[in-house]
Structure 1
């Protein structure tokens, strides 16, 4: 066994084997994979091996697509057959709303180039007569999908890794990690079998590694404890049953090919053929999480007792859908732990607070994701960034506020929601409310319907008391839509108040702060008392973070960024500052997110409302352009509340962000609502704000802005100062303009708007995709933002957008189609 390697991969399941393979294929010749037991002895061995090719996540969709294509090449390279049955994947729908979901799936699949076709009940019956179809609306069929043998594909990847020089070592367990400042010292212990259990021997060793990747599956909590971090990957029981041969199926197969993987999402199960019988895998309610604090030493390739009562409804619906199965007996059953995360996405990327430590944990669909995870994680490690934006999978999307109990509740909920309708306006209830700002109760009393951002409760919209947000959800214009329209109009025509407390907020100060931020971000730094919008880039020149920078002093700055990405932004900021401290001098960074509340007031009457309560020697002029110009900051007093007021509005109207001591928020909220009453002020939620920012072509991080596009491709040259040197500049310039962001007005269906996941076409050719979508109150039609080929990002270009399986007219418009000269936002008073 080597004692020094370039990269050490910990975990010998499908994910670990793929990472080791792809690191070697990417050029790292000195790679070791360490497994505490045997390869595939974790959840890989009892996985059903399904390959659900596509889901609604853009990054995850790419990962699954790569896996499916990659697995088809393994036999030629390694000589080992991974057992890939390309039988297709049939997603059946019992109701029109499920078909609406599939049509959104399909349009998003087109953005990745994934083939599909829609089938009617009659077409399903004609192809697969064993399936009952009279109560179906139809189905979505992915012909290139199928299933694979988990153990075989893992062994094939392991052989491919060995052929490329990877050393695979079994029966060694990691017991400690120590960072020396340049590399990791990993303490390991030889494991031996005694009485059927795996126990530690007296033989130990230390492996030194420049990089470590953990792919420890169900043992993620042990990994977290060894590293001193939080990893919200906790297993949930998943059971599936295998039937005896079905005579009707055996007879059918004499003259027909194999059935596709069948998914009756409304019945909460999947089914595939297995040796003349069926495998039924339900995603039932009340499946419990297990091993919240670690896997017992006695648990190896073990299973839990089957709980047939828990899956009785799913089993009966399986018999209903495939009537020939009613008389077939059960041959085998499995109930094993499968890791989940609170949102269902795996945790892939740099570990929080640690250098050269990479996580690949929390895979609920590990066989499907293994190939692509290895490929894209290897890109991140070897090249510095992946070719797709991996932020949605970043381990730092959960902050230090996350606890074990939270992860347990959310992971159980996530399992239960695998086949629940995934509305784009979905809000899941488990572990909520948790993080609330002081005005929460006030907003709730006004009918706020809350969404959850990084654990924070944030109003999505306001509705009458007794309104049911769950019933209001839809793939079209839901029951909440008119309320959001009214809120958007209130800001365009009058005044609205938005709770933006979830914004991430950092103070950066010290002798090295100015030089550091000038290098760290791509725009000019503002003068004292002024603000600038700017971007921190990745090493690949793409957009890593968007900041509003407020300069409080010569060497003191207040940075505001997206609320969903607090830990993600903090980690990158701190690591960058540590790297440059020797060059620039002392830099102090404080995360003050929970110390400062933010209420944003916007609209033509916003100044009138603030004038009611502002305290100043000359209150009539304190908010005027002369004393308080656009894109500036002033410390003001609103009643008894000191406020760091920033004259900027994400809605594109006259307005201010009112940053205040969070303990005074309830007082400030009451003052503003009382002052705003005579001006008709409405509380406004995030959905209306999202529509309004699209009318101004304001890019949002996580949609238009991400690690797969540069600020220049986002068409933001005015925020890039090419006269200075900054991190990622050469790489940004080298990339050029591969695609370009633009805004489109859309003549879509009367009852629907785009969600920002749809494909764009010109003359039948796919030329781009939407990244945001919604409704424009200013133009009375749908609106969207997205990326197209550069030569098409020109006002007047007419395209088509795929919505509900039809193509609708869309026109590229000027940037900031509403008030392109920013006259309303600069309004004096």
Structure 2
């Protein structure tokens, strides 16, 4: 065994072998893969091998697309047949709501060049007469995917990796990771067979590895403990059954190719052909999480007992959909662990708090994702970034400071159950909630707040009826304008015309202080640093010059900076900030302290033409009438003020684009300040406002949002943020940003869409001649213009105001027009109004 390598991949399933293969293909020479048992002995061996394209995530869709195309090339390269049967995938719908889900999904698929066809019930019946179609509304069909033999594709990737110089060692278990400053010392133990179990021997080695990738599947909790981190990858039982041959299918196959994989999403199952019979895979309720802490030594390529009662409903619905299966007996059954995460998407990327440690864990659709995961993770490791924005799959989207094993297990069970539950774009899942609540949660709930969950925080999405407050209003959801839509309209109008109050406590907040803080931040971000008492919006860049993260920087003193970023990205932003500060000091910079102070500060945003009047009623000052004037408190400045008995760090900013302030205050005084604001606002018609209205208002101002317009696949110049980019000084990522140029351009569009639907930010954009020219990244409704509104990226020449385009919504093309940036109040006169 080699004891010094450039990259060590831990885990010999489909994901691990793909990563090893792609690292070698990307040019890394010394790559080694370790497997504690045999290749494929984890979840890979009992996977059903389906390759579904369907996924609402832009990044995951690209990953699946790459896998499906890549697997088709393996036999030519390696001589091994990967067992890929391109039979197609028919996803059926029993309701119009399900068809709407497919129409929205198709928007994402279209932007990724994923082929699909729409089918009516009659067309389904004509092509596949074994399917009962009288209660269907239609289907979406992917002709280029199907299913694959998991063991065969894994062995083909392993052979391809060996051909490229990868060393694969079996029966070695990792027992320790130690960071040595520039490499990892990985302690491994030889595993031997004893009484049918694998047990450690006395033979150990220490492997020196510059980079380590973990792809340990069901063993992810053990991996997390060895690394000293938290990882919400925990397996859930997944069972499927194999039937005896179905005579009707056998007869049909005499004159036809293989039957496509069929999915009855409303019945919560998939079915595929298997040697003249059927494989039924349900996603039922109450499937339990397993191995919450570790996998028993006795559990190898093993299974759990089948629980037929738990899947009885799904089994009967298969008989309903495939009537010929009613008299067919059961041939085999499988019930094995499949790893999940709370949102059902894998963890791919750098481990939190660690250097050169990469995670590839939590793959609930591991065979589908393995090829693409290896490809894009190898790009991140070798080139510094992937060609697509992988932030939505970053392991740090789940924070280290509050997430527990219990939380992960229960949320993973929910994710499993939700595989076939309607994926509304305004979906809010109820498990493990409420958990993190701001001080005024119960007051807001009593006022009709309908909450969303951001980084574990409960955050009002909108305010519904006070008479029937309910935290999780499922009935309000829709793929079109849901029951919440009119509430959001009224809230947005309140801010444009009067005054609204938003609880923004979930914002991420970091304090950066110390002798080196100014020099560090100057080289860390692309905008000039603000003067003391002032505020700047700025961006930290990747090695490729794209947007790594966004911060609002408040300068409280010469060496005292307060950084605010999106609440959903708190751990992601904080980890990057701390590592950058460590690098700065390691290179000789003066000391910098980075502290996450998110839970120390509550935040209220008050905005609207009457917001100054509300605050004036609370200001305590020798001359209270002038405290909030432009002279004493100009736009983009910070002042420490007193509102009643509460000391407030007030920021003259407003994400809504209206006159307003953010009121950052000691969180223990949050309840008191809330009550005083509500009392003062009563005379001015103050209205409580949620995140959905706020999102619409920021679109009217063309304010870019991280995870939407801003990400690791576009530079700030491509995002149209030139005014926040200082090209007069050096900083990280600047050369690459300038060298990249403008590949596409962000713009705002006003859209004449259907009367009952607004864009969600996933839709394809077309030129008037029918050529696809871009995609939306955000969407909603504009109360200022009475039309749908969106932001997105198009070819550079098409981003000019007045350009006429088309946007695909609900499988139809609708007129759209590129407008000037900040179509509402483009000169920022309203936000700067004096008083």
Q: Check the 8 A contact 2:500/2:686 in 1, yes or no.
A: yes
Q: How does 1:522-533 map to 2 (within 5 A)?
A: 522-533=526-537
Q: 1:808 pairs with 798, 814, 833, which one?
A: 814
Task: Quote the offset at 1:54 in angstroms.
Answer: 3.0
Distance in structure 2 (CA, Å) of the matches to 1:323 and 1:646: 65
Q: 1:826 pairs with 796, 818, 832, which one?
A: 832
Distance in structure 1 (CA, Å) of the matches to 2:52 and 2:191: 35
Q: 1:537 pairs with 536, 541, 544, which one?
A: 541
1:370 is matched with 370
Runs of 4+ residues over 3 Å off in structure 1: none
Distance in structure 1 (CA, Å) of the matches to 2:251 and 2:282: 26
Distance in structure 2 (CA, Å) of the matches to 1:721 and 1:206: 47
Distance in structure 2 (CA, Å) of the matches to 1:583 and 1:627: 40
Q: 2:519 pairs with 505, 515, 539, which one?
A: 515
Gaps of 5+ in 2: none
Q: 1:709 pairs with 704, 710, 714, which one?
A: 714
2:477 is matched with 473
2:418 is matched with 417
Distance in structure 2 (CA, Å) of the matches to 1:611 and 1:409: 47
Paired residues, what number? 829
2:257 is matched with 257
Q: Does 1:407 align with 2:413?
A: no
1:113 is matched with 113
SS of match in other structure, 1:644: strand
Q: Deviations over 1:132-182 (max 9, x none)?
A: 000000000111111100000000000000000000000000000000001
Q: Does 1:58 align with 2:34?
A: no
Q: How does 1:188-587 map to 2 (within 5 A)?
A: 188-400=188-400, 401-464=402-465, 465-466=467-468, 469-581=473-585, 582-587=587-592
Q: Check the 8 A contact 2:539/2:550 in 1, yes or no.
A: yes
SS of match in other structure, 2:278: strand
Distance in structure 2 (CA, Å) of the matches to 1:111 and 1:507: 39
2:794 is matched with 788
Q: 2:748 pairs with 737, 743, 766, which one?
A: 743
Q: Check the 8 A contact 2:758/2:779 in 1, yes or no.
A: yes
Task: Quote the offset at 1:53 in angstroms.
Answer: 1.5
SS of match in other structure, 2:556: strand
SS of match in other structure, 2:23: helix
Q: Please, what TM-score do these two structures have when normalized by structure 2?
A: 0.99
Q: How does 1:6-155 map to 2 (within 5 A)?
A: 6-155=6-155
2:600 is matched with 595
SS of match in other structure, 2:479: coil
Distance in structure 1 (CA, Å) of the matches to 2:24 and 2:589: 37
SS of match in other structure, 1:614: coil
Q: Check the 8 A contact 1:598/1:660 in 2, yes or no.
A: yes
Distance in structure 1 (CA, Å) of the matches to 2:711 and 2:54: 21
SS of match in other structure, 2:46: coil
2:771 is matched with 765
1:646 is matched with 651
Q: Check the 8 A contact 1:768/1:787 in 2, yes or no.
A: yes
2:623 is matched with 618
Q: Deviations over 1:312-347 (max 9, x none)?
A: 000000000000000000000000000000001100
Q: Deviations over 1:204-251 (max 9, x none)?
A: 111110000000000000000000000100000000000000000000
Gaps of 5+ in 1: none
Distance in structure 2 (CA, Å) of the matches to 1:352 and 1:511: 26
Q: Does 1:687 align with 2:697?
A: no
Distance in structure 1 (CA, Å) of the matches to 2:261 and 2:814: 32
Distance in structure 1 (CA, Å) of the matches to 2:508 and 2:176: 33
Distance in structure 2 (CA, Å) of the matches to 1:114 and 1:128: 23
Task: Quote the offset at 1:583 in angstroms.
Answer: 2.8
Distance in structure 2 (CA, Å) of the matches to 1:283 and 1:12: 26
Q: Which moved more, 1:404-413 or 1:583-592?
A: 583-592
Q: Deviations over 1:169-208 (max 9, x none)?
A: 0000000000000100000000011111111111111111
1:630 is matched with 635
Task: Quote the offset at 1:384 in angstroms.
Answer: 0.6
Distance in structure 2 (CA, Å) of the matches to 1:432 and 1:189: 42
SS of match in other structure, 2:544: coil
Q: How does 1:649-688 map to 2 (within 5 A)?
A: 649-688=654-693
Distance in structure 2 (CA, Å) of the matches to 1:110 and 1:487: 33
Q: Check the 8 A contact 1:221/1:234 in 2, yes or no.
A: yes
Distance in structure 1 (CA, Å) of the matches to 2:142 and 2:784: 39
Distance in structure 1 (CA, Å) of the matches to 2:485 and 2:468: 16
Distance in structure 2 (CA, Å) of the matches to 1:108 and 1:15: 24
SS of match in other structure, 2:599: coil
Task: Quote the offset at 1:765 in angstroms.
Answer: 1.1
SS of match in other structure, 2:135: coil
Q: Check the 8 A contact 2:449/2:469 in 1, yes or no.
A: no
Distance in structure 1 (CA, Å) of the matches to 2:177 and 2:548: 28
Distance in structure 2 (CA, Å) of the matches to 1:89 and 1:635: 60
Distance in structure 2 (CA, Å) of the matches to 1:411 and 1:487: 34
Q: Deviations over 1:700-736 (max 9, x none)?
A: 0000000000000001000000001110000111110
Q: Deviations over 1:253-305 (max 9, x none)?
A: 00111111100000000000000000000000000000000101110000000
Distance in structure 1 (CA, Å) of the matches to 2:105 and 2:578: 38
Q: Check the 8 A contact 2:447/2:469 in 1, yes or no.
A: no
Q: Check the 8 A contact 2:446/2:469 in 1, yes or no.
A: no
Task: Quote the offset at 1:467 in angstroms.
Answer: 5.7
Task: Quote the offset at 1:442 in angstroms.
Answer: 1.1
Distance in structure 2 (CA, Å) of the matches to 1:5 and 1:603: 60
SS of match in other structure, 1:44: helix
Distance in structure 2 (CA, Å) of the matches to 1:84 and 1:779: 51
Q: Check the 8 A contact 1:530/1:631 in 2, yes or no.
A: yes
Q: Does 1:798 align with 2:799?
A: no
SS of match in other structure, 1:742: strand
2:173 is matched with 173
Task: Quote the offset at 1:584 in angstroms.
Answer: 2.1
Distance in structure 2 (CA, Å) of the matches to 1:93 and 1:280: 18
SS of match in other structure, 1:583: coil
Distance in structure 1 (CA, Å) of the matches to 2:701 and 2:87: 46
Q: Check the 8 A contact 1:54/1:65 in 2, yes or no.
A: no
